[in-house]
Homo-oligomer: A and B are copies of this chain.
Amino acid sequence: MKKAVLIPDSFKGTLSSKEICSIIQKSINNHYPQCQVVSIPVADGGEGSVDCFLEALGGQKIFETVKNPYFEDMVSYYGILSDCETAIIEMASCAGLPLVEDRKDPTKTTTYGVGQLILSAARKGCKKIIVGLGGSSTNDGGCGAAVATGVKFYNHEGNEFIPVGGTLIDIASIDLSQQFELIKNVEIITMCDIDNPMYGKTGAAHIFGPQKGADALMVEELDNGLINLCEVIKNCLGKYLDNIPGSGAAGAMGAGMIAFFNSKLQMGIETVLDTVSFDDVITDCDMIFTGEGKMDTQSLRGKVVIGVAKRAKKKNIPVTVIAGGVEENIKEAYEMGVTSVFTINRLPQDFQISRLNSRENLSETIDNILRLIKSINNN
């Protein structure tokens, strides 16, 4: 093995993508000291995404004072890759749930800081801005972020205001004409791995409201607000967001990214693969190692493993998957480019026990995979 590419998803609740890369890399170095190892830790847009991109591609982390979910100043961050043209923003960095601690209230929280970060990146000359959704404390449909970039929202009295979850219902009209030109000239891509629509029973408020602190009554209030926002966007901006998959992501930030930033939503892994020029990276590699916590029919929908496998297949590069668990019905994965799938459960133990040994189990598993590969190579 002369070159290996590592691009695992995190094992939810046990190991981060970066930790997994590090364990696999160590094992490869041990068995193949001469092997070139390219590590591409993957994040889905949530917390840690900026670090993942910087890890994979180099660049700098910019720290900036912006508004937190309660309009208070905080020091947040984003990344500018070494091409100096691409910025990575994770909305969780200034609108995340951990930031509100015991003040969870999605009727009051804002994504204003996210807009400030976008503006900052644009002002530094970035031509492409990747915004990762996920882990938000908000339900403002991205209105806060929009205001930070010059978008105006008016209520029925014609007064300008900054809508939050609880006041989305008051929006009567939206004006994009004063949004900074800078923003309009930048390509904004939104990483979004979920399918939920903006409103309704499977929408942002109903599905994600409760974990942000909403009770049943508040969920209805938020949902009505989102229905109004959708309607006003339709009337003022001519965009029909009613059934767009992913528009409900991160308190309907998905919808806001489309409506106010002219962004497209795409799967996190596709964004990562494009950004790292994956097709070029793997050209001369002997083996790709990827993985995820649990491989099941959901995985086939285009998460990390399948995203990677599809590209590898075109170049005929073998893809070894390491997973915490594998359901039986994943035969299609092989057709999609997966070579083989191994699990890390060295003992038959319930997840509640085995999760404590994830690190050692992964380490033992990759060690033995490499031992096998070596024995074949040598014969």
> Which residues of A are in contact with B by a Cβ distance under 8 Å?
286-287, 318, 320, 324-328, 334, 339-343, 345-351, 354-355, 360, 364, 368-369, 371-373, 375-377, 379
Contacts and interface: CB of A to CB of B under 8 A. Distances in A.
Contacts of A287: 375
Contacts of A326: 346-347, 364
A348 B346 contact: no
List 10 A-B pairs, minimum CB-CB distance, nearest first: A345-B345, A318-B375, A340-B371, A348-B351, A340-B372, A340-B368, A325-B347, A376-B376, A348-B354, A339-B375
A361 to B, nearest CB: 9
B334 A364 contact: no
B286 A339 contact: no
B339 A325 contact: no
A347 B343 contact: yes
A360 to B, nearest CB: 6
A325, A339, A341, A346 — most chain B CB neighbours (10 Å): A346
A364 B328 contact: yes
Nearest to A341: B368
Contacts of A334: 371
A343, A364, A371, A377: residue with the most chain B Cβ atoms closer than 10 Å: A343
Contacts of A346: 325-328, 343, 345
Contacts of A341: 368
Nearest to A330: B364
A79 to B, nearest CB: 34
A44 to B, nearest CB: 22
Contacts of A320: 372, 375
A355 B364 contact: no
A300 to B, nearest CB: 16
A327 B346 CA distance: 7
A339 B379 contact: no
A318 B355 contact: no
A19 B71 CA distance: 66
A349 B360 CA distance: 17
A105 B175 CA distance: 94
